[in-house]
Amino acid sequence: MNEFRQIPVEADDAVEVLEFSLDGQSYAFELAYVREIACLAELCPLPGVPAFVMGITCMHGQMLAVVDLRQLLGLAEHGLRDSRQLIVLQSVGMEFGILGERVSGVRRLALAGLQPAMPTFRAAACPYLKGIAADGTVVVSAAKLLADPQLVVRHTPEEISLN
């Protein structure tokens, strides 16, 4: 009798990701950086910020910047369909939301199975990409997004500005 044995993936060899769709493409963030998934109730646009900052919203009594991943990565826009899924990314001292169309779920990806970015990705996207999974899911490095100083939205009572 043939017995199927699943070889366990070592913690260093894999990462748990949250998958979501945007413009019909599947994307993923490392689950360790996802604080929560919420339904976006209201979005207030901000004047004078880069195009990738869609605006701010209030969550749990705190102001939260909402970033358009398509703009940030330099991807073609097809209009957000039913984009009310807000994926809140968080690290020490930094958090913001990414708007997606549909959250698919969580899965474990082998890091060794990730391929480098395809040449079709613009140069702006490459620093943020962790790799492309065998099924075409684009794995975006939440750590790199959260560490990027251009994504720091300062909000004080006097003014709201972008670094």
The ranges assigned to domains in the chain are: 11-162
How much is the pTM?
0.79
Q: 14 CB contacts (<8 Å, ≥6 apart)?
A: 108, 109, 110, 111
Class of domain 11-162: mainly beta
Chain segment 69-128, per-residue pLDDT in tens: 888 887 766 655 556 789 999 998 899 999 888 899 999 999 888 888 766 666 556 788
Question: What are the angstrom distances between the C-alpha of 96 and each of 72, 149, 152?
Answer: 13, 13, 9
